[in-house]
């Protein structure tokens, strides 16, 4: 697996938005984050140290809180990329246009391409499929990104409650997280898909 990254990502017809980027915050917050980790700072000698310093300073001045705000964490990381303490992380998961549905309408196999920076560790990918009143959820274990743009991922989602799925249009959304301790990266994306009953 492998992933590309610089703020906001577009995947096919769906949209993958990195939770938070510099444009998601006010200019004041960005300026605060830019000033927190000067070159040579004891904390800002590593990517994680830079992010920690940026988050601490933004919390101290009341501009944003990295603990409660994913956009604040992402902005802190983006700033540390500008300072070159962090490498840019590529992360681009997508969904295939179709997903396999069991004849009983209770299980859906969702697949898609994934591109991410080599050696980044994916913590998890969770999917939610909806169709009218039917909801199915599932997840897949993470893995190590290889850097290849041809990598694929797969997750099996199980219908919740009594409502089942039928062949045809549905919507799927994904949430994925990187495990690397300096990444602080969570990604969300959705697209319309077609459910195809397995034969």
- Do 27 and 75 reside in the same domain of the chain? yes
- Same domain, residue pair 107 and 191: yes
Distance CA 76, CA 33 (A): 6
Q: Which of these three, 50, 82, 114, is where a domain ends?
A: 82
Domain count, the chain: 2
Q: What is the pTM of this model?
A: 0.64
Say whether both 35 and 74 belong to one domain: yes
Q: Are residues 135 and 66 in the same domain?
A: no
Long-range contacts of 160-166 (CB under 8 A, 24+ apart): 160/135, 160/136, 161/135, 163/132, 163/133, 163/134, 163/135, 164/104, 164/105, 164/106, 164/134, 165/101, 165/105, 165/106, 165/108, 165/129, 165/131, 165/134, 165/136, 165/195, 166/101, 166/105, 166/131, 166/195
On whether both 166 and 122 belong to a single domain, the answer is yes
Mean pLDDT per segment of 10 residues, for the chain of length 199 residues? 32 31 41 46 65 80 75 81 79 92 97 86 92 96 83 94 95 86 72 94
Q: How far apart are CA 189 and CA 52, in angstroms?
A: 27
Asked which of 61, 82, 103 is the last residue of a domain, the reply is 82
Instruction: Kindly report the backbone phi and psi dihedral angles of residue 137, in degrees, each rounded to the nearest multiple of 5, phi listed first.
Output: -130, 150
Query: Residue 172 in contact with residue 196, Cβ under 8 Å?
Result: no
pLDDT at 143: 83
Residue 35 lies in domain: 8-82
CA–CA dist 176, 166 (Å, integer): 26
> End of a domain among 39, 61, 82?
82
Shared domain for 185 and 110, answered yes or no, is yes
Cα(135)–Cα(175) distance, integer angstroms = 16
pLDDT value of residue 14: 28
- In angstroms, the CA 134 to CA 104 distance is 13
Same-domain pairing of 96 and 181: yes
Residues 71 and 127 in one domain: no
Residue 139 resides in a domain:
yes
Angle at 48 between CA 42 and CA 54, to 5 degrees: 70
């Amino acid at each position: 697996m492998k992933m590309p990254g610089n703020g906001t990502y577009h995947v096919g017809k769906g949209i993958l938005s990195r939770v938070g980027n510099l444009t998601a915050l006010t200019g004041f917050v960005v300026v605060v984050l830019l000033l927190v980790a000067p070159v040579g700072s004891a904390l800002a000698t590593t990517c994680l140290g830079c992010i920690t310093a940026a988050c601490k300073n933004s919390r101290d001045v009341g501009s944003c809180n990295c603990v409660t705000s994913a956009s604040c964490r992402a902005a802190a990381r983006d700033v540390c990329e500008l300072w070159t303490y962090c490498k840019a992380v590529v992360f681009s998961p997508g969904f295939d246009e179709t997903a396999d549905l069991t004849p009983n309408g209770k299980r859906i196999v969702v697949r898609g391409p994934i591109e991410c920076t080599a050696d980044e560790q994916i913590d998890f990918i969770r999917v939610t499929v909806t169709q009218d009143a039917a909801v199915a959820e599932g997840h897949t274990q993470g893995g190590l990104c290889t850097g290849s743009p041809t990598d694929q991922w797969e997750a099996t989602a199980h219908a919740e409650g009594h409502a089942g799925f039928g062949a045809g249009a549905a919507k799927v959304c994904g949430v994925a997280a990187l495990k690397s301790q300096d990444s602080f990266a969570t990604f969300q994306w959705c697209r319309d898909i077609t459910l195809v009953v397995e034969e």
